[in-house]
Structure 1
Amino acid sequence: MRLAQHLFTTLSCLLLLLQAEAQNSPAPLKLVDILLTPDSKDWIYAVNQQASVEVTVLQYGVPQEGAQISFEVGPELLPPDKKGELTLRKGSGKLSVGTSKEPGFRQLVVKTEINGKTYSNTVKLAFSPEKIMPTVPMPADFAAFWEKAKAEAATVPLDPQYTHLPAYSTATIDVYLVSLQSFQKGKRLYGYLSKPKAPGKYPVLFSPPGAGIKPMNPQTGFAEQGFISFTTEIHGLSPQLDSDTYKSISTAFGDYWLNKLDDKDNYYYKGVYLGCVRAIDFLSSLPEFDGKNIVVTGGSQGGALAIVTAGLDKRVTALAAFYPALSDMTGYLHGRAGGWPHLLAPRQQHTNNTPVKLNTISYYDVVNFAKQLTVPGFYSWGYNDNTCPPTSVYAAINAVKASKTIVITPISGHWRFEETNQQSLEWLKKQLK
């Protein structure tokens, strides 16, 4: 009887906790929605073709008759060439987005005010995006520059150091914190290694990180799918530092992507790119490696590094990259959006639009690594991404001559659907030999 009462009390407390958590969690729906529906089902138009968007303002899921909207239309991430206001008499109305004379994207930004609060939404439409060509030049000594850098890094002993992490390991997966020497003696690269416990030979997977200086946790999902995975950070910091320490480092360090941009031989990303190659050195040295399959995958900065790694290291057999950053960064100098970190956006041009910095960018732009790819790739991105704008991503992926599988989810921004994640994983499995 006492046990039953104890169980009843425990379950009642748990139910109350779950109810409180649900009450305090963010609402899954928006109070006011602005639906933007292009008149092309795939959001793609031909150059010089007129495009329009149906605008509907919903409150509680119901079109709001007489809703007042303001709107701006123009090239992606650049000043608008058209502004206006419109009353949606029946809760919806059609707006012209115009057209583009060149391959690229135009965007529509719509705002409305209801009960003193402003709501907004954005949609981007593509015009012959398969014809978007890169703007960044290819240095004549690009291949020689990187071959020399890789050769120098290869002379540095890896010196891997392992710390087993029982708290993150599972019944079937062992997780380790790994530190190894990167491109110079004393420069360490940290990451989490996840390995299946069952004896055998396995494909290896390298997963570089997105942008930022922040803590990270191990990912055991790839190991559960039969890979030995190595998920790294890029700054030479232990990923187990607490968040306050990371925050203070990030604040003090600032925008690392600007560090020595005026020196191509010592630019910050040189060590990062070489660190990715060293990660492949490490994975391919593991006794459990099957000796055949090396894949890389990531999103944003991680998507960029996946392409860079596969472009630099011919041991890589396949890659999956989501909305890669650092792509066609010179786009802004040609009247269109450039890639993250937007080094040449109008507000940055007074400091970064110099011959020496443009020269450095050409050695590190993802476009020029995409041109080096020789293995199959899975690439996915959305059109509503303002961080890694689709114009810049298309410029990179259109430059790929190797086999490519492209999955576009136009409605997504700087994120991806779980269905697309699963699709990329199944694709990677099919590439295994």
Structure 2
Amino acid sequence: MKKIKSFLFLLLLFMAVIQGFAQPVEQNVKVIVAPDHTDWQYKTGEKVKFNVSVLQYGNPLKNVKVKYELGPERMAPEMRDSMQLAAGLYTINAGTMKTPGFYRCIVTAEVNGKKYRGLATVGFDANQIKPAAASSPADFIQFWDGAKADLAKIPMDARMTLLPERSTEKVNVYHVNLQNFRLGSRLYGILCVPKKEGKYPALLRVPGAGVRPYNGDVATAEKGVITMEIGIHGVPVTMEPGIYANLAAGALSGYQASNLEDRERYYYKRVYMGCVRANDFLTSLPQFDGSNLGVTGGSQGGALSIVTAALDPRVKFLGAYYPALSDLTGFMLGRAGGWPHLFNKDNVNTGSTPDKVKTTGYYDVVNFAKLVKVPGMYSWGFNDETCPPTSMHAAYNVITAPKSLFLALETGHWMYPEQRENMDSWLQKQLKVN
């Protein structure tokens, strides 16, 4: 019975990971939308054309009715229309943008009573996109220096529980919990440590949004790296899956906007400090080599990777997929803002009150991106409808440290295997492992 429960736990965990990072499910009919520039990038004022086709088994379907809409990403469409694809192919002569940003074409086709959707998003002078807020808060650095000083006064009180059922011949796996940014507040994660005696580099894995259990990064640990995968909600990360579903629907529902009106009480303060506290723990381990520490994650985890690298000088490199929490006030300028879209007019959980807007200045990833001093690898696609590329480029463009951007143009809030392979290869090079 114990083995069955363990198998079911791992199966559910695997499904949760796949749901967060896998490609969309393949469909019998595909709506293909492609711009006339192969790099999907244009100069402001230059007009874009979108080539549309509806394919079944690789061949164009004729006489299919499609509807399309055009306009800046996540904004109200500037144009809507419909047409009949007599030959299965059509070119839409679209508009342009007068200022740097991203422009999207969404096409919906109906085949045998079922709707299929495709889209393409092009960048206009994307490397010139600037943050919506002209500057960081005047006391931004002082605020976070104060938070870190307060954290340093809190005893770590590290507690490690060996998980023999998850350990391997080469790696010990532990459920770890640490005292976080105030007395009694805990941070939980899965630590993987090579069994062979020696000194090793370390990699902190920070999580995407949501509430879930974690399994740890055993595969990287087996290559000779100490890894730690953390949760952010102050609850154990080895509980039954149903508990997380209850928390997500209950106490932790909408956590992204919790106490947004107060910079001291906003939910992400505990999260950002938790990442620093995780590094306190990793660098205290006797197996740590004393130098090589990196951080990586996607979406919310992409944001936390940038934040952690900016806050903690012990971090030597970062890898970020489609970072969230970037350029949060973009909606107030009439363009797409970063996830969780706090100031989008359709977001019923927030509103652009002065206190809330002020708080976001202290948590917006663009303001941390300005402070990053270590090499970083970044990756996303233009079709991301969760973390708008406008918001991600606003953060990327202000980074002055060595950086590289792997664009997988047509991906949304997911990644191709090539993206992951490229990132893993880069991270392993920084970690100095094969």
Same fold per TM (> 0.5)? yes
Q: CA deviation at 1:88?
A: 1.3
Q: Which residue of 1 aligns with 2:386?
A: 387
Q: What does 1:52-201 correspond to in 2, within 5 Å?
A: 52-136=49-133, 137-201=135-199
Q: CA deviation at 1:53?
A: 1.2
With over 3 angstroms needed to count, the CA separation of the structure-2 counterparts of 1:351 and 1:161, relative to structure 1, is closer
> Using the alignment, how far apart are the partners of 2:311 and 2:429 within structure 1?
23
What amino acid sits opposite 1:206 in the alignment?
Answer: L
SS in 1 for 2:247: helix
Q: What does 1:267-346 correspond to in 2, within 5 Å?
A: 267-346=266-345
Q: Which residue of 2 aligns with 1:15?
A: none
> Using the alignment, how far apart are the partners of 1:287 and 1:97 within structure 2?
60
Q: CA deviation at 1:413?
A: 0.6
Contact 2:191 2:227 in 1 (8 A): yes
Q: CA deviation at 1:266?
A: 1.0
Contact 2:188 2:236 in 1 (8 A): yes
SS in 1 for 2:50: strand
Q: CA deviation at 1:60?
A: 2.5
Q: Which residue of 2 aligns with 1:22?
A: none
Summarize deviations over 1:269-308 as a string: whole Å, max 9, x none: 0011001000110000000100110100000000000000
With normalisation by structure 1, the TM-score equals 0.92
Q: CA deviation at 1:224?
A: 2.2
With over 3 angstroms needed to count, the CA separation of the structure-2 counterparts of 1:204 and 1:427, relative to structure 1, is same
> Using the alignment, how far apart are the partners of 1:197 and 1:58 within structure 2?
52
What amino acid sits opposite 1:210 in the alignment?
Answer: G
Asked if 1:419 corresponds to 2:407, the answer is no
With normalisation by structure 2, the TM-score equals 0.92
Q: In percent, how many aligned pairs have the same letter?
A: 47
> Using the alignment, how far apart are the partners of 2:184 and 2:132 within structure 1?
37
Contact 1:122 1:384 in 2 (8 A): yes
Q: CA deviation at 1:422?
A: 1.8
Q: CA deviation at 1:173?
A: 1.2
> Using the alignment, how far apart are the partners of 2:369 and 2:384 within structure 1?
20
SS in 2 for 1:348: coil
Contact 2:211 2:244 in 1 (8 A): yes
Summarize deviations over 1:311-344 as a string: whole Å, max 9, x none: 0011100000110000001011111100000001
What amino acid sits opposite 1:419 in the alignment?
Answer: E
Summarize deviations over 1:74-123 as a string: whole Å, max 9, x none: 11001001111111111101012311101000111101111111111111
Computed over aligned residues only, the root mean square deviation of the Cα atoms, in angstroms, reads 1.5
What amino acid sits opposite 1:269 in the alignment?
Answer: Y
> Using the alignment, how far apart are the partners of 2:211 and 2:143 within structure 1?
28
Summarize deviations over 1:377-412 as a string: whole Å, max 9, x none: 001111110111100000001010111011111111
Match of 1:246 among 240, 244, 247: 244
Q: CA deviation at 1:429?
A: 2.7
Contact 1:97 1:107 in 2 (8 A): no
> Using the alignment, how far apart are the partners of 2:295 and 2:286 within structure 1?
19
Contact 2:175 2:190 in 1 (8 A): yes
> Using the alignment, how far apart are the partners of 1:67 and 1:249 within structure 2?
45
Q: CA deviation at 1:424?
A: 1.3
> Using the alignment, how far apart are the partners of 2:86 and 2:330 within structure 1?
40
Q: CA deviation at 1:431?
A: 2.6
SS in 2 for 1:346: coil
Asked if 1:262 corresponds to 2:261, the answer is yes
What amino acid sits opposite 1:246 in the alignment?
Answer: Y
SS in 1 for 2:346: helix
Q: Which residue of 2 aligns with 1:205?
A: 203
Q: CA deviation at 1:29?
A: 4.0
Summarize deviations over 1:7-47 as a string: whole Å, max 9, x none: xxxxxxxxxxxxxxxxxxx9974211111121111111111
Q: Which residue of 2 aligns with 1:428?
A: 427
Contact 1:68 1:112 in 2 (8 A): yes
Match of 2:28 among 28, 31, 50: 31
Asked if 1:40 corresponds to 2:37, the answer is yes
What amino acid sits opposite 1:394 in the alignment?
Answer: H
> Using the alignment, how far apart are the partners of 1:336 and 1:310 within structure 2?
27
What amino acid sits opposite 1:231 in the alignment?
Answer: E
Q: How many residues align?
A: 408
Summarize deviations over 1:203-222 as a string: whole Å, max 9, x none: 01101100011222222122
Contact 1:97 1:106 in 2 (8 A): no
**Unaligned residue ranges in structure 1 (runs of 5+):** 1-25
**Unaligned residue ranges in structure 2 (runs of 5+):** 1-22
What amino acid sits opposite 1:291 in the alignment?
Answer: G
> Using the alignment, how far apart are the partners of 1:27 and 1:420 within structure 2?
16
SS in 1 for 2:250: helix
Contact 2:257 2:349 in 1 (8 A): no
> Using the alignment, how far apart are the partners of 2:158 and 2:72 within structure 1?
48
> Using the alignment, how far apart are the partners of 2:406 and 2:203 within structure 1?
21
SS in 2 for 1:98: coil
Q: Which residue of 2 aligns with 1:21?
A: none
> Using the alignment, how far apart are the partners of 1:351 and 1:376 within structure 2?
35
